[in-house]
Amino acid sequence: MNGLHAGRRYLITGATSGIGLATSVVLARQGANLVLTARRAGELERLVEDLPGDHLAMPFDLTATDEIPQMVGRASREVNGLHGLVHCAGIHRVTPLKMVNTRSVEDVFSLNVIAAMMLAKGFRVRHVHAPAASIVFLSSAVGAVGQKGVSAYSASKGAVISLTKSLALELAGEDIRVNCVLPGVVRTPMTEALHESIGEDAFAEVEAMHPLGLGQPDDVAEPISFLLGVRSRWMTGAALAVDGGYTAQ
């Protein structure tokens, strides 16, 4: 543990897998106290037991979007105020336009965009957040440049970028910074599902779009740690590409 986030308290969604899990591990090792949320209570409890430090498991289904602000308030009360939150939970679907339907688009936007907005709504309430607070959302490289077959996902992640910028302006006066990261394709269980769904040749094309190759979850967790902490105190409204060069092309 290096103490970089010692004494700071963060809420992390999607904490049991992928980037959310990596972020939980990185922040715990850096001295943070975490409130970890995901749908699977058993996995959350095991994660809390494995992490160094003192943390709280709070199972919650983010599809209950109207209940999210209350969940954030409850998390804050449990730990006596939050210094930040990271919204790592999300949905990625490969759906060509000819197969898109209203429900599939609504599902993607509900978790990727509406849940993010409701998390921010709960976080901004007086006494929920501590001074010099920080929100970090996960957008995506394809929210900035697009990719065939993922129009709903790409649109939702583009919306996260716009949401980040608007909330950064709205919440600056409340001592809350809002930034987002734009990961490229990272080797997670979600990526493995993508690999299986599109096949070997198409996945090789995706990998070739990353000049530095595909990333690991820690490659995104470390920039998230930076955006949460005091070293980024003059950054808000930023959309930070962490994508192995994907958006440089």
Angle at Cα 62 formed by Cα 171 and Cα 228, nearest 5°? 40
Q: Give the position of tokens 């608007």.
A: 166
**CATH fold of 9-242, please?**
Rossmann fold (3.40.50)
**Tens digit of each residue's pLDDT, the chain (249 residues):** 679 999 999 999 999 999 999 999 999 999 999 999 999 999 999 999 999 999 999 999 999 999 999 999 999 999 999 999 999 999 988 888 999 999 999 999 999 999 999 999 999 999 999 999 999 999 999 999 988 888 999 999 999 999 999 999 999 999 999 999 999 999 987 788 778 877 888 889 889 999 999 999 999 999 999 999 999 999 999 999 999 999 998
Lookup: tokens for 189:
């269980």
Of the chain, the end-to-end C-alpha distance in Å amounts to 37
Domain residues of the chain, as ranges? 9-242
Which of the residues are catalytic?
A: 153
* Residues with Cβ within 8 Å of residue 193, at least 6 apart in sequence: none
Residue recorded with tokens 């902490």: 229
- The 10 Å Cβ neighbour count of residue 95 is 17
Compute the CA torsion angle 60, 227, 180, 223 (nearest 10 deg).
-90
Q: What is the pTM of this model?
A: 0.95
Give residue 167's pLDDT: 98
Question: pLDDT per residue over 167-217, tens digit each?
Answer: 999 999 999 999 999 999 999 877 887 788 778 888 898 899 999 999 999
Query: What is d(CA 132, CA 174) in angstroms, rounded to the nearest whole number?
Result: 9
For residue 24, give the amino acid letter. S
24 and 34 in contact (C-beta within 8 Å)? yes
Predicted confidence at residue 102, as pLDDT, reads 96
